[in-house]
Structure 1
Amino acid sequence: MTPRCYVLVAWAVLCVFTLLCSHGAPVSPTGAHLMLCQSHTRCGDKFYDPQQHCCYDDAVVKLSETRKCGNCTFRVCFEQCCPWSFKSEETFLVKVKSQNCSSGLFSDDRVCSR
């Protein structure tokens, strides 16, 4: 190559480098989640982000979703509504999902009347 070609190549590299750097650091769009390396969780035939949703009765629901359990409400992603008989009266218990409905009454259980 002639010295003139080296100058043109250096000038072209400098222009391309300046053009690429003038846009700043790449930024992801607002609200976008990088899910390439995260595990995907399925609920039926749908995928969902377990940091924002859970699967309840084969439906994807928000973590803040609540439902009625007798005269109480329970958070469907974290709790469950269990039928419970107490002194021949049909009532309900709200229990943490990790507990079995047939297990005894725990201090963090909530008793809900019909």
Structure 2
Amino acid sequence: MKKKKPCPFCCEYISHSLWSHSLSSCFSAINYSGGSSRTMVPRSFGFICILVFLLLLLLCLKSGAHMNSGLWLCQRAPRCGNQMYNPTEKCCDHDTILPFNRTNLCGLGCRFWPCFELCCPESFGPQKRFVVRLKVLGMKSQCLTSPISRFCPTV
């Protein structure tokens, strides 16, 4: 005769394989009213809490990319001024949240994308000249250090 082993979830002694022991029978064996002397609510409740905590921790660690669009609970939300925004859909330009497809004028006849480019004046005087420069990802882009994208026509 096989030796009976206690189930680690409900402490019910089972003679068959643990894998064939269903969790529904585990939870039906637990008497929440306190009438049974073999009630193991604290043990199973603690196990479930630990399992949920570990699952959430695993999900947080799995989403380790900078701004993964998955789980935001484990990451600080990016801010633009005093507002939060989703960097996969919009950008922050001078404390203003803009859609990626937004364009502005640089000079009179030159358009640029403020999420990805800078409009930089190159010369002042009667003939103003503007240059569109690329924003470098992960750096605070400035007109003097950013690479040139294109020259705008003179006015």
Query: TM-score, normalising length from structure 2?
Result: 0.45
Amino acid at match of 1:92: F
Q: Does 1:44 align with 2:60?
A: no
Q: Identify the residue that residue 100 of structure 1 maps to in structure 2.
A: 142
CA–CA separation in structure 2 for the residues paired with 1:42 and 1:109 = 28
Q: C-alpha separation between the residues in 2 aligned to 1:109 and 1:85? A: 17
Matched residue, 2:103? 66
2:64 matched to which residue of 1? Answer: none
From the two aligned structures, give the one with the greater strand fraction. 1
- Residues 37-74 of structure 1 show CA distances to partners (whole Å, capped at 9, x for unaligned) of 34311011100111111111211111221111011111
Once the two structures are superposed, the pairs formed by residues 70-89 of structure 1 within 5 Å of their partners are 70=107, 71-85=109-123, 89=127
Question: How big is the alpha-carbon RMSD for the aligned residues of Structure 1 and Structure 2?
Answer: 3.1
- How many pairs are equivalent? 85
> Residue in 2 aligned with 1:35?
72
Structure 1 segments (4+ residues) deviating >3 Å: none
Q: Distance in 1 between matches of 2:129 and 2:75?
A: 41
Give the 3 Å change call, closer, same or farther, for CA 55–103 of structure 1 in structure 2: closer
* Counterpart secondary structure, 2:128: strand
Structure 1, unpaired ranges of 5+: 1-8, 14-31
Share of identical aligned residues, percent? Answer: 37
For 2:116 and 2:103, the matched residues in 1 are separated by 10
TM-score in terms of structure 1 length: 0.58
Q: Which runs of 5+ in 2 are unaligned?
A: 1-23, 29-68
Name which one, 1 or 2, has greater alpha-carbon Rg: 2
